[in-house]
Amino acid sequence: MGPTPTILLAVHGDVPQARALHEQLEREGLLVVVGRTLGDVRARLRGADAAVAFHAPGPWTPLDVLEPEARRIPVAVVALEPEIEEALAALRAGFIHYATPNAPAAELVSRLRDALARRRPTRPDGPPSIEPPPIVGRSRALAEIQALLRRVATSAASTVLITGESGTGKDVLARAIHAHSSRAAGPFMNITCSAIPETLLESELFGHERGAFTDARERKLGLLEQATGGTVFLDEIGEMSLLLQAKLLRVLEERAFRRVGGRDEIRPDVRIVAATNRDLRARVREGHFRADLYFRLAVVELSLPSLRERPEDVEPLARHFIERFGVELRSPVRRLSPEAVRLLQRYPWPGNVRELRNTIERAVLLCDGPELDTEHLHLDLARASRALEPGFRLPDGGLVLRDLERDLLQQALEHARGNQTEAARLLGMSRDQVRYRVEKHGLIAGWRRADHGSAEEPIIDTLLAAEPTDTLAPLPHQEQAPKAA
């Protein structure tokens, strides 16, 4: 018998229909994960076999978030304010079902089961057949990685560390390790450590007991428990807090953990695949990452080179994406012009394979004919080259690092109009790191309307403490008393 499918419920707010469906799915013996924020939904998507979007106006829209996923997994919609035109558009977009709020939960569960059965054909011996993700390229470096990957996948190694720049395809390697292993019939659970706050991340990994904290209304199984017999992929593990690093180390060394608020020891049979774009050795030296956890994870390490280090992979990757998006977007594009190939090979790809994929997807959308040319690519060679150049050199006279950090943070906040998430992107940090530095430097970022017109102007107030002094300043609007004779 195959692994139990995992169903993602994407809902913002407390929706009675979502609670009813959650209960019905669990009665049917299915695993259920819930995403109540945009970050939660994105973090849980890759580990889900199907999803349900509870669609209603709000700060973010589950329908829009899950629409691209409808090409990959079965996705149903429960419209809390149904509209005929929206229903037709949803079905055309590939959603398997569009339900109204009063539709029976059992009917939706039946639709999900039927869709999962069609999507996951079984082998003669029972377990579901799992197709390894394609690893496209002809470079020697990629061939060596693939050879090592197969050896690692079929080994008994319980931990694997994948390193490389953002966008190089670390998640593809993780899925390939799972698909080529004896655990392929088990679940593949994926979580991005930087996308979830520390307290929530602990609950997501280890689960919690009812009453463990304020909102813990029922027992919840963590990803490590749900993934028994399979693989857990911890992306961006370099951003995990030291407290959680210690708990993860115990899992790796003792093969046991407790749910938050629980007493019973749980011994999951899982392989941990971790990935990072950070230099973990440097993080260890800085005191931000435990040395013992690093050495435990790096028993087997796969290092993915950047795309600019393997330029011979650019053309086959581009052709692969043309074929993929040509089918998905129903485009007539079938080939690259010679000039487009030359431009793609000259471009330095600071965003790696992810940038190439996005570039080809946009170009396929813009091209109306069978051949994709340079005019469809919109690549700025000069700008991309500048992005790879060192942007700062230490002055001969040195500098004050604290002042530099504060100035860069203030510039990023001004650039992002006070949006800390956007400022974090500009600085290559997580939002929590930016929030910490805002408090550290006493910056308060906000926005207000200008007195004239509709333009916006920034407010960046500095609350740095004044230098200590023994002299008392005079009270405002008062004269100092004359000194005694």
- H-helix or E-strand containing 88? helix 84-92
Looking at residue 163, the DSSP 8-state letter turns out to be: E
Angle CA 408–409–414, to nearest 5: 95
Per-residue pLDDT tens over the stretch 321-337: 999 888 888 889 989 99
Measuring CA to CA, how many Å separate 110 from each of 30, 71, 94?
A: 12, 20, 18
The DSSP annotation for 447-477 comes to EEE-SSSS-EEEEEEE-PPPPP-SSPPPPTT
Structure tokens at 394: 């230490």
How many angstroms from the chain centroid is the CA of residue 237?
Answer: 11
Question: Is 269 strand, coil or helix?
Answer: coil
Per-residue pLDDT tens over the stretch 194-228: 877 777 888 888 888 888 777 777 888 888 888 88
Identify the sign of the CA torsion 68, 179, 195, 269.
positive
In degrees and rounded to multiples of 5, residue 263 shows phi and psi of: -115, -25
Question: Is 33 strand, coil or helix?
Answer: strand
The pLDDT assigned to 131 comes to 62
Q: Which residues of the chain have pLDDT under 50?
A: 1, 120-129, 445-485
Contact 297, 272 (CB under 8 A): yes
The pLDDT assigned to 399 comes to 64
Looking at residue 128, the DSSP 8-state letter turns out to be: B
The pLDDT assigned to 445 comes to 43
pTM score: 0.58
Contact 231, 181 (CB under 8 A): yes
Domains of the chain: 6-119 (3.40.50.2300), 140-303 (3.40.50.300), 307-388 (1.10.8.60), 401-462 (1.10.10.60)
Contact 81, 87 (CB under 8 A): no
The pLDDT assigned to 60 comes to 64
* Direct distance between the N- and C-terminal alpha carbons of the chain, in angstroms, rounded to an integer: 99
Residue burial 309-331, b: 16+ Cβ < 10 Å; e: rest: ebeebbbebbbbbbeebbeeeeb
Contacts of 150 (CB under 8 A, 6+ apart): 180
Distance CA 327, CA 23 (A): 38
Contact 116, 164 (CB under 8 A): no
In degrees and rounded to multiples of 5, residue 260 shows phi and psi of: -60, 125
Q: 19: buried, middle or exposed (CB in 10 Å: 19+, 13-18, 0-12)?
A: middle
User: Look-up: residue for tokens 């959308």?
Assistant: 365
Q: 409: buried, middle or exposed (CB in 10 Å: 19+, 13-18, 0-12)?
A: buried
The pLDDT assigned to 121 comes to 42
Helices (H) and strands (E) in the chain, counts: 19, 16
Distance CA 73, CA 75 (A): 6
The pLDDT assigned to 176 comes to 92
The pLDDT assigned to 398 comes to 63
Residue 79's nearest CA partner among 129, 131, 17 is 17
Distance CA 272, CA 174 (A): 10
Contact 42, 191 (CB under 8 A): no
